[in-house]
Amino acid sequence: MTGHGAPVAIIGGTGRLPGLLAAEMSAAGQPFVLAELDGAPIEAEGERLQFRLERLVPLFDRLHDLGVERVVLAGAVRRPRLEPEAFDPRTAALVPQILDAMQGGDDGTLRAIIALFEEAGFEVTGADGIAPVLLPEAGVLGRVAPSEADGADAARAAEIVTALGAVDVGQGAVVAQGLCLAVEALPGTDRMLAALAAEGDLRPDPAGARGVLYKAPKPGQDRRVDLPALGPQTVRAAARAGLAGVAFEAGGVLLIEREAALRAADDHGLFLWAR
């Protein structure tokens, strides 16, 4: 990525991704500003604005005043509880559009938010547009390779994730020996893996394939926002759950802290596979 004169706004939430994007832009000489939603602090250094969803239009005004032309939405944000008395008059006019979208699930909400930014004159870019290295190409990334049985489990998990995504539920599943042991919902991947670890060994054959975590985007989702992500913490959680490895859709999942994730996979004897 090359530097540009106009600052980019990171519309961020919690987690490592906003800070990684900020560091990438700093290294490239790209000016940026952090815009954090109230209650979801961004873990990054830099000039920042705070905003509420009920005052979205004033945020647009502030970004325009700063010369922002592009925005990137990054980080985890829990859906906020809207407070009617907090709306400014111009944002209040958008309430029907916002509420209709929120009734349609996370994907519909994010599509509506993208549309609002675009209607306000901003270009919305994906995290991979800022840091392409976050999307690995296809292949086994570490020293450990998946077995034939692992490949079959990954294929089955991919089918399940596609079905989950079609109803806007989750972006991950665990399959072992052809059986679905867990699926991702609102609490997220790490909570799913922790619950699986607490259950003990659910596999029908203790000597058989250990199981695979698979992650992929939802079918048809706008890939500029809410791409699934994983990193060293996810790899370690998969190890604690007794799995053989982690597979994910190549070009569709953000790999956070790649080198640390690879070390964790190699250290625990897990494969890390962009499928």
So what's the pLDDT on residue 37? 83
- Confidence (pTM): 0.84
So what's the pLDDT on residue 79? 64
* DSSP code string of the chain: ----SSPEEEEE-BSSHHHHHHHHHHHHT--EEEEEETT----S-S-EEEE-GGGHHHHHHHHHHTT--EEEEESB-PPPPP-GGG--HHHHTTHHHHHHHHHT-HHHHHHHHHHHHHHTTPEEE-HHHH-GGGSPPSEE-SS----HHHHHHHHHHHHHHHHHHHTT--SEEEEETTEEEEE--TT-HHHHHHHHHHH----S-TTS---EEEE-PPTT--TTS---EE-HHHHHHHHHTT-SEEEE-TTTSEESSHHHHHHHHHHHT-EEEE-
So what's the pLDDT on residue 102? 64
- Taking the CA atoms of residue 126, residue 80, residue 187 and residue 248 in that order, the dihedral angle to the nearest 10 degrees is -10
Report which of 217, 215, 262, 269 is spatially closest to residue 245, judged by C-alpha positions.
269
So what's the pLDDT on residue 106? 62
So what's the pLDDT on residue 107? 62
So what's the pLDDT on residue 113? 82
CA distance 206 to 208: 6
Q: 8-12 and 70-74 as β-strands: parallel, antiparallel, unpaired?
A: parallel
So what's the pLDDT on residue 97? 74
So what's the pLDDT on residue 235? 97
Please report the domains of the chain, with CATH numbers, ordered by start residue: 8-132 (3.40.50.20), 135-274 (3.40.140.80)
CA distance 148 to 113: 42
So what's the pLDDT on residue 114? 85
So what's the pLDDT on residue 105? 58
One digit per residue, the tens of pLDDT, for the chain of length 275 reads 444 679 999 988 778 888 899 999 998 899 999 998 887 778 787 788 888 888 889 999 999 999 999 999 887 766 667 787 888 888 888 877 777 766 655 666 777 788 889 999 999 999 988 888 899 989 999 999 999 999 999 999 999 999 998 888 889 999 999 999 999 988 889 999 999 999 988 898 999 999 999 999 988 787 887 788 999 999 999 999 999 999 999 999 999 999 999 999 999 999 999 99
